[in-house]
Amino acid sequence: MKILQLLPRFPWPLKDGGAICFHNFAQAFIDAGNELTMAVLNTNKHHINFTDIPEHLREQAQIYLIDINTDVNKKDAFLNLFTTQSYNVQRFVSMEYEALVVDLCKKNKYDIIIFESIFVAPYLSAIRSVSTAKCVLRAHNVEFKIWETLANDTSSLPLKAYLHLLVKRLKRYEIKACNAFDVVFPITETDQNILQEHNVTTPMCIIPFGINVATMPSYLSPQRLTFFHLGSMDWQPNQLAVQWFIDNVWVYIAPQYPQATFVIAGRNMPSHFLKYNNKHNIKVVGEITNAFDFMQSHAVQVVPIFAGSGIRVKIIEAMALGKCIIATSLGAQGINYTIDKNICIANDATEFLKEIVLLIDEEQRIETIGKAAITLANEQHNIKVLAQQLLNFSVN
């Protein structure tokens, strides 16, 4: 098949869930023998030079980068108040990018055009005017739900009012856009249900995050009793999760179990977390070189996430490596888990404390649950199978 993939960023380096998710499917499409073109909004936040793109991707796909500044601009945000448009989405609008994708569609007869997130949906109507290809949306999150949670958790009344305005506009745009595609691919059943409850009638098929099972490192038994959190620390839900865990859980674990350590890792670590380093059995390591090596060197992953949507990429990767995981129900959504068999679920401080103490007292459970997690990841998140399911559903 001939595939055009529209991306809100280039999926490299592989240091966060978004990049890994985009990359894994792109590589799977290529590995299956498809001809792939990648049209990328090259944002300030995730900017990449063409020469820094890995050679294997430059050789296997046609890649086009269009620079765009999606940073929040106070003036633009203020002027947006006097419109009805979603500021979250408008930041990703580029006439140069629109001209590129229209030109590509005029010159090539694509079978499928894959829109990677709602933030490249503004280009759908222009593409429809010049192409008869199936246009499908991979909905990595229900974006308005993330912002809705953040708005509800904000204490400042003026900021809360502004965030709720953003939510209202983003929600209206997101629902309308979803109904304009030929197919929508949510990555969790929860997200699919939310979209259906908000009158999205477009055909949908759940395609979760996938991993290349064949290239995952072999299982290593953890040598240290360490609990860890790994995630992009410039994402507010992760910041709130780690702070909540320290304040409501770890503060009680540290004095009772001095043999246990909590390690915090992730790029763009906010400075205020550095004050915890080497205190209360906490180590703050910031950005790491190799996520797999880091996870293999620690015992238990904690995912105390209370805001967000979609699927936690790092949970699937940790499962494939045989990690025992303690997560909230929200953090583990989209994973067909069995509680206490291949994951531990905790939804408040009391439950987190209970699960952690149980694992410390019965360390064999860490390995037992971790090995069962490998089976789940291999059977239900094989990228080769999932990518083909997406393509088959798109054209049939």
**Is there a contact between 38 and 26 (Cβ–Cβ < 8 Å)?**
yes
Q: What's the pLDDT score for residue 11?
A: 94
| Residue from 78, 239, 236, 91 nearest 165 by CA | 78
Which pLDDT value is given to residue 109? 97
Q: What is the pLDDT of residue 311?
A: 73
Whole-angstrom Cα distance, residue 220 to residue 187?
Answer: 29
- Give me the sheet containing 183-186, strands edge to edge: 62-68, 35-43, 2-7, 112-116, 134-139, 183-186
Please list the pLDDT of the chain residue by residue as tens digits (396 residues). Answer: 999 999 999 999 888 888 989 999 999 999 999 999 999 999 999 999 999 999 989 999 999 999 999 999 999 999 999 999 999 999 999 999 999 999 999 999 999 999 999 999 999 999 999 999 999 999 998 999 989 988 998 889 999 999 999 999 999 999 999 999 999 999 989 899 999 999 999 999 999 999 998 888 888 887 778 999 999 898 888 999 999 999 999 999 999 999 999 999 998 999 999 999 999 999 999 999 899 999 999 999 999 998 776 678 889 999 999 999 999 999 998 899 999 999 999 999 999 999 999 999 999 999 999 999 999 999 999 999 999 999 999 998
What pLDDT is attached to residue 128?
Answer: 98
DSSP 142: -
Backbone angles phi, psi at 339, to 5 degrees: -60, 135
Kind of pairing, strands 344-345 and 226-230? Answer: unpaired
Tell me the backbone φ, ψ of residue 185, rounded to 5 degrees.
-115, 90
Phi-psi region of 348 (alpha: psi -120 to 50; beta: other; left: phi over 0): beta
Helix (H, G, I), strand (E, B) or coil at 328: coil
DSSP-assigned letters across all residues of 231-282: S-TTSHHHHHHHHHHIIIIIHHHHHH-TT-EEEEE-SS--GGGGGGTTBTTE
- Tell me if residue 36 falls in helix, strand or coil: strand
CA dist., res. 91 & res. 172, Å (int) = 16
User: In this structure, are residues 349 and 184 in contact, taking their beta carbons and an 8 Å threshold?
Assistant: no
Is the peptide bond between 13 and the residue preceding it cis, with omega within 30 degrees of 0? yes
The pLDDT of residue 18 is 85
How many CA within 13 A on the CB side of residue 301?
34
The predicted structure's pLDDT at residue 274 = 93
pLDDT of residue 367: 94
Q: How confident is the model at residue 310, as a pLDDT?
A: 63
Distance CA 309, CA 119 (A): 15
Burial of 305 (C-beta count, 10 Å sphere; 0-12/13-18/19+): buried
Q: Report whether 332 contacts 343 (CB < 8 A).
A: yes
- Residue 197, Cβ neighbours under 10 Å: how many? 8
Residues 6 or more apart in contact with residue 331 via CB below 8 angstroms: 303, 304, 305, 308, 312, 315
- Least Cα distance to 15 among 239, 289, 244 occurs for 289
Structural domains of the chain ordered from first start: 2-210+382-395 (3.40.50.2000), 214-380 (3.40.50.2000)
pTM: 0.82
Q: How far apart are CA 363 and CA 299, in angstroms?
A: 10
The number of angstroms, rounded, from the C-alpha of 245 to the middle of its chain's C-alpha atoms is 21
Handedness of CA 197, 201, 204, 209 (dihedral sign): negative
- Under a CB-based contact definition with an 8 Å cutoff, are residues 40 and 7 in contact? yes
